[in-house]
Amino acid sequence: MRGKLDLDRAQVRRARQLARRAGKPVVDLARGHTTVAVERAVLRLAGITGADPDGIPWVNRLVDAVAADVGLGHGVSVPVFHALAISGAHDLTMLAQKAAAGSVRFSLPSGTAATAARRAARRAVAAGIKRIDRRRAERERLVKRYGDPRQRPWIYLIVATGDIYEDIPQAQAAARAGADVIAVIRSTGQSLLDYVPEGPTREGFAGTYATQENFRLMRAALDESSKELGRYVRLTNYASGLCMPEIATLAGLERLDMMLNDSMYGILFRDINPIRTFVDQRFSRQIHARAGIIINTGEDNYLTTADAVEAAHTVTVSQLLNEYFAHEAGLADWQLGLGHAFEIDPDLPESFRLELAHALLARELFPDAPLKWMPPTRHMTGDVFRGNLLDGFFNLVGTLTGQGILLVGMMTEAVVTPWLSDRDIALQNVRYVLGACGGLHEDFVPAPGGFIQRRAHHVLGESIELLERIVDDGLLNAIADGTFGIMKRPADGGKGLSGVARHEDDYYNPATELLEAA
């Protein structure tokens, strides 16, 4: 089957082979390094909780103390569980408190002491992974009990007031109005915090803080909505930034269903060090794979800074790289919410046909992935009537090309944080288009050799040319040169590099060991 675009299958195979070759050196780099966030995620799996009086999590205090005494290159598990055995502390939280007070020092044991510490660490981390397994099984039971939405794409809607207790009723109202996936957008700037705040939060700027307790509260509320509505309502948050592995772990423990988790977003748009990001994202995706979480990638963001026509091939290249990185970490195709967006200037002649070509290319390159289709933002002007019309065209492309996840566009984009009434109007738009045109993708076939096919072939050809250059020059160099989103991010720059360490010969991570064994 050559599909509606009549793509050259040899070219498609070539593109994937090049993505694999471009991505493998980065995977090798990630496999040979660790970060403070990876090590904190391991200890969170082992059961450490809580924060000190200043709000800094005990896991940060503990990892910082280990790093000061013996460095990160050996992993923190062995020195931590060795200290736990000889210090008299009852658990990891007490050990962290002792370390913060200066009454515990860390060392690298040898012989039987090292073997015992490894066994204790593996046992504790395995308990955390089993909890993630139980939450995944719980999701599967609830989906079987309540059912999935009757139609695709799933309707994905953002709720974020800054106050988790205000988010909950808004999220439940959105679910009643037809949303299938509720995304609690994260407070601006949290991605640059090198710790995860503790407990429920009641203030945030343009979003709500991602914390374990906020995850728990929203998941419980949406479980109530699932029971009320007779369909399982999914919950999304963000596993990105300097605490990507930890937030992924907390999401698995609290049964979130989707997480924004792009391989390059933090590098390009938050100036986080590339090496730190790639190491963190590999571990976070291993957790997502185990938890049965669908990831959402961020290619749509490239089109907010680069031209959506000229840079269309960079979106395709990033999708192919994200697919390779995800598969290598253990994610299946059904977990790959690869991103793309309706961001072509609407005043450009044939803009709608171009959007169709780009969206259909993504659909045919990744036939088994639940692609995440993103609404117009860059060219929203504040004219709410024009905005609602653009969103309707966006919704039409989504159904014509069989997208999997459709983020609801707001007519007040770039004007205000949406009110409930704005969401209701936007959801009416979605429901009308999907109801009127829901099966139209079965009938829509572009003309053989016509505009849409030619454009898709051109973008695929440009993608292959770019991948060939990346293979020759290296992905880290391509990022440094501003290839994606016109952002230039050198491998030795950005935030978080000091939290990266090369593996020593005796490096041990029980979480990676368990996840990769599975």
pLDDT digits (tens, 9 = 90+) for 371-419: 999 999 999 998 999 999 999 999 999 999 999 999 999 988 776 667 7
Q: What is the pLDDT of residues 156-194, one digit of tens each?
A: 999 988 999 999 999 999 999 999 999 999 998 999 999
Q: What is the pLDDT of residues 139-158, one digit of tens each?
A: 999 999 999 987 889 999 99
Asked which of 59-68, 86-95, 128-137 is least confident by mean pLDDT, the reply is: 86-95
The model's pTM is 0.95
**Which amino acid is located at 26 in the chain?**
V
Q: What is the pLDDT of residues 267-308, one digit of tens each?
A: 999 999 999 999 999 999 999 999 999 999 988 888 888 899
**Is 372 a known active-site residue?**
yes
Question: What is the reported pLDDT for 416?
Answer: 64
Q: What is the pLDDT of residues 458-472, one digit of tens each?
A: 999 999 999 999 999
Helix axes 510-517, 274-291, angle to 10 degrees: 50
SS3 content of the chain, % helix, strand, coil (to 5): 55, 10, 35
What average pLDDT does range 69-74 have in this prediction?
A: 98
Residue 234, phi-psi category: left (phi > 0), alpha (psi -120 to 50), beta (remainder): beta
- Average predicted confidence (pLDDT) for the chain: 95
Number of helices (H) and strands (E) in the chain: give both, helices first. 19, 11
The residue assigned the tokens 């059961």 is: 47
* pLDDT above 60 for 510: yes
* pLDDT above 50 for 518: yes
Asked which of 231-240, 241-250, 296-305 is least confident by mean pLDDT, the reply is: 296-305
Question: What is the reported pLDDT for 1?
Answer: 45
Residues pairing with 259 in the sheet: 237, 295
Please tell me which residue in 300, 302, 324, 391 is annotated as part of the active site.
300
Question: What is the reported pLDDT for 260?
Answer: 95
* pLDDT above 60 for 36: yes
> Which H helix or E strand runs over 277?
helix 274-291
Please, what are the domains in the chain? Answer: 46-126 (no CATH), 147-452 (3.20.20.440)
Q: Which of 292, 283, 373, 277 is nearest to 331 (CA)?
A: 292
Give the pair of three-digit tokens for residue 282.
């590999």
**Which amino acid is located at 189 in the chain?**
G
| Rg of the chain in Å (alpha carbons) | 23
Please tell me which residue in 265, 302, 507, 508 is annotated as part of the active site.
265
Give the pair of three-digit tokens for residue 233.
């309502």
What average pLDDT does range 116-130 have in this prediction?
A: 98
- Is the distance from CB of 461 to CB of 11 less than 8 angstroms? yes
**Which amino acid is located at 484 in the chain?**
F
**Which amino acid is located at 352 in the chain?**
F
Question: What is the reported pLDDT for 259?
Answer: 97
Q: Residue 221 in 3-state DSSP?
A: helix
- Is the distance from CB of 434 to CB of 401 less than 8 angstroms? no
**Which amino acid is located at 5 in the chain?**
L
Q: What is the pLDDT of residues 313-364, one digit of tens each?
A: 999 999 999 999 999 999 999 999 999 999 999 999 999 999 999 999 999 9
What average pLDDT does range 80-87 have in this prediction?
A: 96
**Is 232 a known active-site residue?**
no
Q: Residue 147 in 3-state DSSP?
A: coil
- Is the distance from CB of 88 to CB of 94 less than 8 angstroms? no
- Is the distance from CB of 63 to CB of 243 less than 8 angstroms? no
**Is 508 a known active-site residue?**
no
Q: Residue 209 in 3-state DSSP?
A: coil
Please tell me which residue in 262, 280, 302, 372 is annotated as part of the active site.
372
168 φ, ψ (degrees, to nearest 5): -60, -55
What is the C-alpha separation between 67 and 50, in angstroms, rounded?
A: 20
33-35 and 405-407: which strand pairing? Answer: unpaired
Work out whether the CA dihedral 207, 434, 303, 460 comes out positive or negative. Answer: positive
- Is the distance from CB of 319 to CB of 362 less than 8 angstroms? yes
Give the percent of the chain with pLDDT over 90.
89
What is the C-alpha separation between 419 and 411, in angstroms, rounded?
A: 11
Question: What is the reported pLDDT for 144?
Answer: 96
* pLDDT above 70 for 2: no
